[in-house]
């Protein structure tokens, strides 16, 4: 457990750097917003493209279909738990109640798990987290946004899925399919087009190098957001309930159910790591965009990430 704690602590040390930069005035809202855009539009898509295309063959994608399916089901369970809890805690539909519902749905399914699996299982495991995020993206941008905005889900809302991370994921899967087709035809591109293959390898290495910035940049952004939070006017009872649901109740029920499903332990570990994560760091920005309570979202990011410093190592030590 101590080793897991140290590996988790290393992630929070990077987040602490962002917190200190913000407190000293080296980072402001405008810089944070631009850096977030750079992360979502460049660094993270590059990581998706390089990790999936280099670590997965078509056979691997077909064998690991359970990853996005399990995470989609997990988010659906969070939606159900959040819906029931918000109806019990709030007398009417408000910005805070909708944000409460959304925070039960979406956790930090990409950036923090990527940091953890890179530390625990190596770079190859990143591809599994990225592939699993497909299920999360599908649910967040459909039923998740419906919960946050209070609007009914429509087919027109599927346009929200057209994001750079999703485009990169589809492109990476397309590359895997093309490689499988070429292999099936028995064509050796290295011999027939050596210069083209060398160029492709160089571009892939560039993409991989850019993608590696995802981990430190996302940690700095998260720390900076925490430094700017204002929680004085929050209802700490509601905040405590949300934190308990997100870090304990929702993952506990899902992990118990997962134990009865025959899945390879390597796959289960990836799913477990995603399940035990705190609320999504991007929930603050989404709350601002979809008329949610951004202040409450900020407070839940702070509370779940701070307590996650203890809960994540505890969960992982139990699951080991």
pLDDT tens track for 130-163: 888 888 888 888 888 888 888 766 666 666 667 7
DSSP string across 269-280: HHHHHHHT--B-
Backbone dihedral region for residue 291 (phi beyond 0: left; psi -120 to 50: alpha; all else: beta): left
Maximal C-alpha separation, the chain: 69
pLDDT at residue 86, as a whole number: 92
Enumerate residue ranges in the chain where pLDDT < 70.
1-4, 7-8, 152-161, 189-192, 229-234, 320
Q: What is the rounded CA–CA span in Å between residue 180 and residue 174?
A: 10
Burial class from Cβ neighbours inside 10 Å (0-12, 13-18, 19+) for residue 89 reads: middle
pLDDT (0 to 100) of residue 222? 73
Check: CB of residue 27 under 8 Å from CB of residue 224.
yes
Number of other CB atoms surrounding residue 315 within 10 Å: 22
Mind listing the pLDDT tens digit for each residue in 61-112?
Answer: 888 889 999 999 999 999 999 999 999 998 877 889 999 999 999 898 877 7
**Cα dihedral angle (261, 267, 272, 273), rounded to 10 degrees?**
-170
Q: How many alpha carbons lie under 13 Å from residue 38 in its C-beta half-sphere? A: 15
Helices and strands (DSSP H and E) totals, the chain: 18, 0
Mutual angle of helices 214-227 and 111-121, in 10-degree steps: 130
Q: How far apart are CA 22 and CA 26, in angstroms?
A: 6
Name every residue whose Cβ is closer than 8 Å to that of residue 108 and which is 6 or more positions away in sequence. 277, 278, 279, 280, 281
In this predicted structure, what is the pLDDT of residue 313?
Answer: 85
What whole-number distance in Å separates Cα of residue 127 and Cα of residue 119? 14
Q: What is the pLDDT of residue 281?
A: 74
Q: Can you give the pLDDT at residue 141? A: 80
Q: Are 64 and 263 contacting, i.e. CB atoms less than 8 angstroms apart?
A: no
HSE-up of residue 133 (Cα within 13 Å, Cβ side): 28
Strand, coil or helix: what is 92?
coil
The pair phi, psi for residue 278, each rounded to 5°, is -70, 180
SS3 107: strand
Does residue 204 contact residue 261 with C-beta atoms inside 8 Å?
A: no
The span from the CA of 234 to the CA of 243, in Å, is 13
């Amino acid at each position: 457990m101590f080793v897991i704690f140290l590996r988790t602590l290393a992630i929070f040390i990077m987040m602490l750097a962002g917190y200190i930069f913000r407190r000293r005035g080296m980072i402001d809202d405008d810089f944070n917003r631009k850096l977030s855009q750079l992360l979502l539009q460049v660094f993270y898509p590059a990581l998706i493209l390089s990790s999936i295309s280099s670590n997965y063959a078509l056979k691997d994608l077909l064998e690991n279909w359970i990853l996005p399916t399990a995470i989609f089901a997990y988010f659906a369970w969070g939606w159900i738990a959040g819906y029931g809890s918000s109806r019990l805690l709030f007398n009417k539909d408000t910005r805070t109640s909708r944000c409460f519902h959304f925070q039960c749905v979406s956790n930090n399914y990409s950036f923090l798990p990527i940091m953890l699996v890179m530390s625990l299982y190596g770079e190859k495991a990143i591809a599994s987290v990225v592939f699993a995020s497909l299920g999360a993206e599908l649910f967040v941008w459909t039923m998740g946004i419906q919960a946050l905005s209070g609007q009914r889900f429509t087919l027109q809302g599927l346009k929200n899925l057209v994001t750079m991370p999703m485009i990169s994921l589809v492109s990476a899967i397309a590359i895997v399919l093309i490689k499988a087709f070429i292999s099936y035809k028995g064509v050796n591109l290295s011999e027939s087009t050596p210069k083209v293959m060398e160029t492709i390898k160089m571009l892939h290495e560039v993409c991989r190098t850019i993608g590696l910035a995802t981990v430190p940049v996302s940690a700095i952004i998260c720390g900076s957001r925490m430094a700017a939070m204002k929680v004085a006017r929050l209802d700490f009872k509601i905040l405590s309930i949300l934190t308990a649901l997100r870090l304990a109740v929702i993952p506990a029920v899902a992990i118990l159910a997962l134990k009865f499903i025959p899945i390879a332990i390597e796959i289960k570990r990836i799913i477990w790591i995603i399940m035990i994560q705190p609320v999504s760091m991007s929930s603050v920005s989404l709350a601002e965009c979809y008329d949610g309570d951004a202040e409450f979202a900020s407070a839940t990011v702070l509370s779940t990430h701070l307590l996650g410093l203890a809960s994540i190592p505890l969960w992982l030590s139990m699951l080991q």
